[in-house]
Each structure stands twice: as C-alpha cells, then as structure tokens.
Chain A
Amino acid sequence: MLTFLMKRFGVMLLTILCLTFIVFWLTNLAPNLERLAKTQANNRMTDEQVVSWLDARGYNRNIFIKYGEWMGLVPGWTNEINGVQAGRCIRAGETEGPKFCGVLQGDFGFSTVSQEPVSDVISRRLSLTGWLMMCTFLLMVPMALIVGIAAGMREGSRLDRGLSTFSITTTATPEYVSGVIFIAIFTSSAVGLKWFKGTATSAADEITFANFTLPVVTIALYGMGYIARMTRASMAEVMQSQYIRTARLKGVSFKGVVLKHALRNALIAPFTVIMLQFPFLLTGVVIVESLFNYKGFGWTLVQAAGNNDVELLLGCSIIAVIVVLLTQLISDIGYVFLNPRVRVT
C-alpha cells in the first residue's frame, strides 16, 4: 500500500510540474507579454519601448529561469527601473526583499489587475466557490444515486426507461443552456414568475434560497445525469449477479435484496465517477459563475485570463490542477478500500 501511495504521489508531483510549466509557457508567449506590457504601462508604446519595458522587468529571459524563479528555486531578478531598485521579490514602495520568492516559499506572486497578492485573491474566491461546490454536491450526489439505483434495479422496466431518458436529457443540456432557460423562466419579467434572482452576486455576502438555488441546480443537473447513468449501469450489473439470484431464491423480498444485498456493491463504481466529476464541475463552475455573476474561483479565472494577469492565472491553474489530481488520487485509494477484490500490491 505504501509503495502504491508513494508511486501515485510521485506521478502526481511530476504531473503538477509538467502542467504548471505548460501553463507558464503559454502565458509567457511573446504576444501575451506584449499585451501585458501595453495594459500595464501604456497602450501606445512602440515595439522598442515594449521590449525595453519587458527587459527591465525580467520578462525577456530564458523560460526555464523564469519558471525556476516562479517555483522559488532560482533567486528572483533585481534591476534598477527609473532609478528605483526593483525586483521580482521587492514589493512596490520597498527597496529590499527576500532572495527567493516562489511557490515553494508560499508566495504565489502579485496580481497585476487587483493589486494584491495572488494568494489573498485566490483564498477569498476559493471559499466562495467552496460553498457553491458543497451545495451542488449535497444536491447532486443523493439525487443521482437515487435515480441511478431506481433505474438500475429493474433493467428495461418502465421506471428505468423514464429515468434513463431523464438522465440523458440532463447530460445533453450544458450549463449555459439550462442556466439561460432557468433564468428566462424563473427570473425574467417577460415570463413573470419571479421566483428566484437572476444573479448570485449577493450570495457572496449572504446565501439565500432566492439567489443561490438557480446556480446550484444548473451545475447539479448537468453533472447528475452522468453519475446517474454510471450508477444505473453498476446497479444493473450487480442485480444480474449470482448472489442476488441466490438471495431472491432464498425468499428475500425484492426490497430487501435491493437495500441489503445490491446497494452496497453497486455503489463502488459510482464513487470513482463522483470523484472524477470534479474536473467537469470546474468547467461548470466557470460557466455558472460567469452566467450568474458570482465572484468565485471560476469568475476569477475568466477575469485573469481575459486581462492576462499572468501570476493570478498561474495561481488559479495550479489550484485547479491540484484539485483534479487529488480527487483522482482519492478515487483510486477509495476504490481499493471499498472493493476488497482489488489488491494494489
């Protein structure tokens, strides 16, 4: 078990390293840097001015050195700009800073748009998204499991067909479609049912039923169908197994078979699927947060990408990648614990 964990952890670290480097490289491409220089300094700079601006701030160097700086393995650059001592690790207004400042030192850099440290921005936004995710999971997982198990316990029955059609429909409706339809029906003055609010901006201060229902339902519905279909498949397979037949022939009631014998075995596969839903949910979160103007992590990601806020974008992507990889790790370990037939060694 320990070697398995070590190995998985090693692969995970390697993946994080590769992915952050790719993001770093893509955000540091020449056109992006040019745009950054123009938004930061002056929109009408000539090409030479752009080059000298970037040179002075250490942008025009080898990508590996810059990446090392960002990681905190290479000492940060220092330079004199307009007679003022400046450097990667020196905050505006100060003259000195630490030698290394990178992710390893816990410094995620400085957001050029919101003018505050990236770690502050992300931690604040992440807690907002945390609420959204939690509510979504509390709604999505139980519903998906109930639908999946009800559909899978009698494969091919009327109930199965009805519920399967429902889950197919939800998987075919992406968030930007269902969200728009929900907003149109439940919030617009054109239809007149003003049950909920069309924006969730106020939910950042206080979560209410009116402002948080639609975002949560929108994400949950799209993610639900997939989990429900996987649960259905797993349940249908379990219901055909030998031990279920034995239980039935022994005279256990159908209810007893489903609840006592089938349910636990059928829930092993969906566990993995639920954990692997995180990367998909992330896209959903970005869409829904932009649609409902909820200023969480996804909204920040869109803003950072739109404004080419390089360090904020890097911070967001490292968080996203770590979340995805951690859930994959948890799903693997959890699978081993839940399913006694799987041995890792």
Chain B
Amino acid sequence: MKQLDWTGAIGTVLDPILIIAGSVLLLAFIAQMISSFIWMPSAEVIGAPTKRNPTDNILLVGKIALYVVIGVVLAYIIGGNLVATESKGIVERIFTQFRPVWLAMLLILALSFLFKSKLGLYGKILDNKLGLIGLCVVMFWVLTAILATGLCIGEYCTMPIVQYDELQQISGMKNKKPGWAVTGEEGQYYLLGGDVLARDVFSRVIVGSRTVLSIAPAATLFAFMVGITLGLPAGYFTGKLDTTLTFIANLVLAFPVILLFYLLVTKDIVKTGIPMYLAAVLFLFPLIFLTILLTSKFRTRPGEMALYLGISLTLGFWVYLGLTFNYDPLGLNIFSMDPNTLNIFVSVVFVNAPTVYRIVRGLVFDIKTRDYVAAAQTRGENPWYIMLWEILPNARGPLIVDFCLRIGYTTILLGTLGFFGLGISSESPDWGMTINEGRKLLSVFLHPAITPAIALMSLVLGLNFLADGLREESLRD
C-alpha cells in the first residue's frame, strides 16, 4: 500500500454516521438561533411552564446530534487504539500516536472529577460545558508538549508521539500527501505528509508545540509580575507616580506591536545587548514583587522574614543571573536561555506588561474603596500589606481570567513573530514559522501550512473557552 486512506476499517461504519450527525448538528445550531427569535425555548421562559414549541424540538435534535458526534469521536480514539495496525487509516494512526496523552488526560480528568468539590475554582470549571471543552484542549496540548519525544522515569519511558526527528529529511518524501508511505521503510508513513524539505509535518507540529508552550505561559507570567508590581502602587497611591507610569504604559501601547517587533526582534539587535538590558530590568520585577510580598507579611516577625526572604532571594537571584546574563555562579547552567529566545521572550513581556498594568490599576481603583480596605487602613497596616494581602487576593478572579486570555494572545504574538521569520532560527518547528513556509506553495500543497494553522487555532480557542468558563464560574458566586 503506497498511500493510506484517511480512515481505515472502522471508518466504513463510523464515517457516514459522523458526516450525518455533524451536518445535523451544524444545521440545528444555526436553526436554533433563528427559531429562538420566534419561539423562546420553554426552559428559558420564567414563570408557568409553556407548551413545547419548535425551538425545543430543534434543541433536542441538536443535543442528540452532539452526543452522537462526541460518541463517534470517542469511538475513533478508543477503536483507533485497539484495531490491528494494518486496518488503520491516518486518523486511527494519529490517535494511536497520541496514546500516552489520552491515558494521562483520562487519569487527570478522573482524579479531577473525583475530588471536584475540594478543588475550588478549578473544580467548578468541570461543571461548565464550554470551560470543560477548553480545559480538555489546553490539557491535550500541554501533555503533548511534555510527552512529545517520550518522558522517561528511570528506565521506563513513555511511547514518543513523534515518529521522526523534526529535522530529519527523507529523500523522495518532498511535499508528499498525508498518509504517504516512507521510502525504504516498511509500514511507516508520513501521517500528515511531508513538507518542502521532505520532513514529517506531523512530527514538526508536535515538537512545535513545545516552543509555544514553553515561552507563552512563562512570558505571560513575567508580564503579570511586572504589571502587578507597578499597577498596585499606581492605583493605590495615584498622584505623580500614577501619571508617570501611565504615560509610559500608554507610550508602549501606542507603539504598533508589529513595528516594535521589527525593530526589536532582529539578529543584529542581540549584538547591541539591548535585549539583555531589557531583561535585566524586566526580570527584576518578580524579585521585587517577592521581596515586598514577604517583607509586608512578616514585618512583625523578623526571624521568619529573614528565613523566607533568604531562601527565596538566593534562589531568585540564581535564576535571574542564569536567565538574564547566562551566568551561573555554581556552574550548573540549569537556567539559561539562548540569546534569540531571550530576545523574543523579553519583547513579548514588554508588549504585554502595559496592558496588565492598566487592568491591575483599574481593579485597584475599584477595590480600594471597599470596607475591608478601609478597615485595614484604620488598623494602621502598611500600605504595601494592604496592596498585596488585601487588594490583590480580591482581584484574583479577573486576573486569572485575563491570564488565560493573555496566554492565548501571547501564542498569537509568537505565531506572528514566526510568521514574519523574526528571531527564531529558520529550522525551528515553531508553528508561525511553519505556516509562513507552507503558505508559499499553498495553492498546490495544503497540508504543510494547514496543519500548524489548525494546531495554533485549537490551542488559542481552548484557552479562550477556558477563560470564558472561568469568567462565568467566578462571576457566579
């Protein structure tokens, strides 16, 4: 067999069901929106129960179709893992490659549902349909990034998800269609085809998730540290400090992002050391945040303060020196970043921090008028204690939601950087970069560009759904 079909043996039964149920679902989705203009669904009418109307029937049909679609997808995942290798199509083989991810997801979800009531906001997300979908998608990609090339504990390793090295080129596989048999290897296929340099598209997309998922959350976290450390005093003290900081924030925000990237994220700029200086300033904020956090809490207990502050600052400075200056006093070099990655990282933090600053500042303006803040002020608490231990915990809801959204936004930014070929080396499997490479031949070969495009979209969509679910659940109480 030279080329695999999209679905194998189980597909002959499942494909027609999926197509029918999928189209019914889509039609019902559109129909319910139109018909709910005319007849309100009886579940949404407050008061006396009304008669069943056409909208209710459409909703019922849609619900059944949705469950059928979910069932078929699950059947593909389970069946795809169980049937014999010869009768597998592309879809079943891909699902088989993801086996470690499915098992890990199953374990995590089972544990989460078991201890749902004890997990706070995370537990509540499991009750929210959209939030749960988002959570599953995000979890899928996080686990994929972790398990991409197999994770080893001692001698026991998980099965790698990738089939080939992301840089390995196999002759004769250039621009081949999905499911093409690898030349010279029996029973091996490029599941999602080969790219213009005859590399496996599937493996590249899987490894590419690592770049995104290692930079995006960390950069967002740093942006939050900067934004919180500056936004809290600006909102609390106001006055000149607020005016100055807000002016600087607006300055960065008025800068078109793409222009900033073109000026800041180039190979030449690394030579001037600007990213390093920027990192030296921006990476200092988490340390400042930590110091203020601990000193304001343990002000009355100097002994404990010295202990906690000593431990965290020693560790903090170790990481700081490693990340910023690539210098490790112990010579271990655990924390280091290559100059290009540092450049991207710093630029992304720099772009995101002012927005976070404005959000935090706005929240502080709102929260500082509350009674518990007035009570703390009357007690004579230190202003920093009030900011970090009274105001900040009460602003956590909107901040967590924005954190999720912002990771998605950062993912889009990283993709934009890759799309314009800025900062990342040209061989990297980064999604934006791969899309840019693939688009040149888009009119003939779709798969090299479409695959990373869908991967990126699904991850951002998952994060947005998760954020929306979190927003709904945190507003509920």
Contacts and interface: CB of A to CB of B under 8 A. Distances in A.
Question: Interface residue tally of chain B, by bracket?
Answer: 35 or more
A26 interface: yes
A135 to B, nearest CB: 21
Interface in A153-194: 154, 156-159, 162-165, 168-169, 171-174, 176-177, 180-181, 183-184, 187-191
A26 B264 CA distance: 8
Interface string B171-215: 000000000000000000000000000000000000000000000
Given A18-B251, A180-B435, A282-B256, A158 B33 contact: yes
Nearest to B253: A279
A159 B256 contact: no
A27 interface: yes
B453 A181 contact: yes
Given A180-B435, A180-B439, A290-B420, A158 B408 contact: no
A162 B32 contact: yes
A162 B129 CA distance: 13
B37 to A, nearest CB: 7
Nearest to B274: A29
A174 B419 CA distance: 11
A172 B37 CA distance: 27
B443 A177 contact: no
A159 B250 contact: no
A26 B258 CA distance: 14
Interface stretch (B3-11, B227-235, B328-336, B459-467): B459-467
A189 B256 contact: no
Contact of A287 (B59, B419, B442): B419
B271 A176 contact: no
Interface string A1-38: 00000000001001100110011001101111001000
A174 B431 CA distance: 13
Contacts of B465: 168
A27 B446 CA distance: 37
A172 B408 contact: yes
B435 A173 contact: no
A202 B432 CA distance: 27
B256 A279 contact: yes
A101 to B, nearest CB: 24
A214 interface: no
B449 interface: yes
A172 B455 CA distance: 12
Nearest to A164: B468
B59 A324 contact: no
Given A168-B464, A328-B254, A183 B442 contact: yes
Interface string B419-440: 1100000000000100110110
A123 B37 CA distance: 48
Contacts of A190: 443-446
Interface in A66-84: none
B444 A176 contact: no
A32 B268 contact: yes
A198 interface: yes
B445 to A, nearest CB: 7
B136 interface: no
Taking each of B36, B257, B263, B415, which has the highest tally of chain A beta carbons within 10 Å of its own beta carbon? B263
A321 B251 CA distance: 10
A283 B256 contact: yes
A127 to B, nearest CB: 19
Interface in B24-68: 29, 32-33, 36-37, 40-41, 44, 55, 59
Given A184-B450, A286-B258, A177 B457 contact: yes
Given A27-B263, A162-B32, A302-B420, A188 B415 contact: no
Contacts of B311: none
Given A171-B464, A184-B450, A191-B446, A31 B271 contact: yes
B237 interface: no
A305 interface: yes
A99 B8 CA distance: 78
B221 interface: no
A301 interface: yes
Contacts of A191: 446
A156 B43 CA distance: 12
A316 B260 CA distance: 12
A321 B439 CA distance: 30
Contacts of B464: 168, 171-172
Given A158-B59, A172-B408, A188-B444, A177 B33 contact: no
Contact of A189 (B271, B444, B457, B468): B444
B255 interface: yes
B344 interface: no
Interface in A306-320: 316-317, 320
A56 B37 CA distance: 73
A325 interface: yes
Contacts of A324: 254, 256
A158 B254 contact: no
A30 B36 CA distance: 64
A164 B472 CA distance: 13
B219 to A, nearest CB: 17
A321 B255 contact: yes
Given A15-B250, A184-B442, A29 B259 contact: no
Given A321-B256, A324-B256, A159 B33 contact: yes
A180 B254 contact: no
B130 interface: yes
Nearest to A184: B446
A234 B85 CA distance: 55
B133 to A, nearest CB: 10
Given A31-B272, A157-B36, A291-B439, A19 B446 contact: no
Interface in A25-53: 26-27, 29-32, 35
19 contacts: A15-B251, A19-B251, A31-B269, A157-B44, A158-B59, A162-B33, A176-B453, A180-B450, A181-B454, A188-B446, A191-B446, A198-B442, A282-B256, A302-B420, A305-B259, A317-B256, A320-B256, A324-B254, A328-B254
Given A176-B419, A184-B450, A301-B258, 17 more contacts: A19-B251, A26-B263, A26-B269, A31-B268, A32-B268, A158-B41, A158-B55, A162-B32, A174-B412, A174-B416, A176-B416, A184-B449, A190-B444, A190-B446, A287-B419, A320-B256, A324-B256
Interface of A: 11, 14-15, 18-19, 22-23, 26-27, 29-32, 35, 154, 156-159, 162-165, 168-169, 171-174, 176-177, 180-181, 183-184, 187-191, 198, 279, 282-283, 286-287, 290-291, 298, 301-302, 305, 316-317, 320-321, 324-325, 328
Closest 5 CB pairs of A and B: A31-B268, A305-B262, A172-B461, A172-B460, A26-B263
